[in-house]
Chains A and B, each alone.
Chain A
Amino acid sequence: MSNHEHTANMKAYTTGFALSIILTIIPIILVLNHLLSKTALVVSILLAAVLQFVVQLFFFMHIRDGEGPRYNVMALILGIIFVVTIVAGAIWIMSFNSQVQ
């Protein structure tokens, strides 16, 4: 166990924590001060969320750890494909609701 190279160290956690706080505060400021137009605001909020998700994957969940085939990364990518399909597909198909009724 000790010869594994862990990305788990205090510096990585502190960096991830600081980045997460920044990426949380930015959208809060944008929303509470009405700084952007609606579309730009939605895009910025989603971008901040995705960036923070990536930060947590690398700094907190250590997806780079371990040797050999990255089965965890493969499972994660498949999961993301499913999640995007379910959410985007549901929104897309329900946008036809008004035409069917």
Chain B
Amino acid sequence: MQQSISAHVSDHTQGHEDQEGIKLLGFWIFLVTDCLLFATFFAAYAVLHTHTNGGFTASEFNVPNFIIETFILLISSFTSGIAVLNMHKGNKKGLTQWLIVTAVLGAVFVGLEVKEFMDMAAEGATLSQSAFLTSFFSLVGAHGLHVSFGIFWMIGILVQLSRRGITPVTKRKISMVSLYWHFLDAVWIFIFSVVYLMGVM
């Protein structure tokens, strides 16, 4: 009897974990399909980046600005990892603090990107100026929108975390937002390499 109860209990927890696991897998599959969205923007950029219509070219990108952006996003990816480590240790305070650090770094990244776009627009390099600029703003802007969405998502999770604490559900949500954040950093590696570095080389 004792054995069957413990077997039942372990079955039950196993089932619950599996459900959270399936949700995490579902989110992973969303990320893979999101790669396809970025792939089409990358393909458009690869084909159109030489079509500058005599205006702004890729060699005119602000070098210090995109290098700082890259490191800020890389550091924020690391801090979101530290947040997850604190979650596994059950340290709610550490988790909250590192999530806040991650969201703030994300906001600084978005701020720098908006400033870059505004500086370019002030020089006359706007979305409709050339095929190159259309594909550039679409690709980098889509990434920027993803990061902005991630910040609001993180704020939502922080509110839920303060109300409910570390539960299996908030754990899964934090794992998801952290995965999303690492994914955005991975996409940025390719934007940084293909768009910015190859642009200014």
Contact = CB atoms under 8 A, between A and B. Distances in A.
A13 B78 contact: yes
A79 B74 contact: no
Interface string B24-40: 01001100110110111
A66 B82 CA distance: 20
Interface stretch (B104-112, B121-129, B152-160, B180-188): B180-188
B85 interface: yes
Interface residues of B, number: 44
Given A24-B70, A48-B193, A83-B36, A60 B85 contact: no
Nearest to B43: A90
A10 B46 CA distance: 38
Interface string B51-76: 00000000000010001001100100
B84 A90 contact: no
Given A86-B43, A90-B46, A91-B43, A71 B25 contact: yes
- Going nearest first, the 8 A-B pairs with the smallest beta carbon separation are A90-B43, A79-B32, A49-B193, A83-B39, A86-B39, A13-B81, A60-B182, A94-B47
Given A49-B194, A89-B43, A94-B47, 19 more contacts: A17-B78, A24-B189, A27-B197, A31-B201, A45-B194, A53-B190, A56-B77, A60-B78, A61-B182, A75-B28, A75-B29, A75-B32, A76-B28, A78-B32, A82-B35, A83-B38, A86-B36, A87-B46, A90-B44
18 contacts: A1-B17, A13-B82, A13-B85, A17-B78, A20-B74, A38-B201, A45-B197, A45-B198, A52-B189, A60-B77, A60-B81, A71-B25, A76-B28, A82-B36, A87-B39, A87-B43, A90-B43, A91-B43
